[in-house]
Amino acid sequence: MLLIRLGVCIGVLGICLYSYLNTQNELTQLKIQIPELEKKIQMTREENRRLSYQIGQFESPAHLIELAHRPEYTHLKHPILKEVLTVPEAWASNY
């Protein structure tokens, strides 16, 4: 009877140790992945900054005026004041 209890205790202890070591191994694998993920995040942030700069350059007034003078956009014209429709603020807030 004592031998069975001792065997069960050692078995439970072994399962607990195995579970603990398995958890530590998973944690170590995640810690190893952290620098790789930080590099990816940094690269993504740099790409976002570069794209934001490009968008800013494209949307700059000087570039837009340059685009307006190109032949493919000559058919576009500024509307005259009579052609501009405005929505009253009180009417717009109801919808």
Q: Write out the residue range of the structural domain in which residue 66 sits.
A: 35-71
pTM: 0.56
76 in any annotated domain: no
Q: How confident is the model at residue 94 (pLDDT cuts 50, 70, 90)?
A: low
Helical spans, DSSP H, in 1-95? 2-58, 61-68, 89-93
For residues 27 and 22, what is the distance between their CA atoms, to the nearest angstrom? Answer: 9
The two tokens of residue 64 are 């837009």
pLDDT of 48 > 90? The answer is yes
pLDDT (tens digit per residue) in 8-21 = 999 999 999 999 99
27 in any annotated domain: no
For residues 67 and 74, what is the distance between their CA atoms, to the nearest angstrom? Answer: 10
49 in any annotated domain: yes
61 in any annotated domain: yes
CB–CB of 76/68 below 8 Å? yes
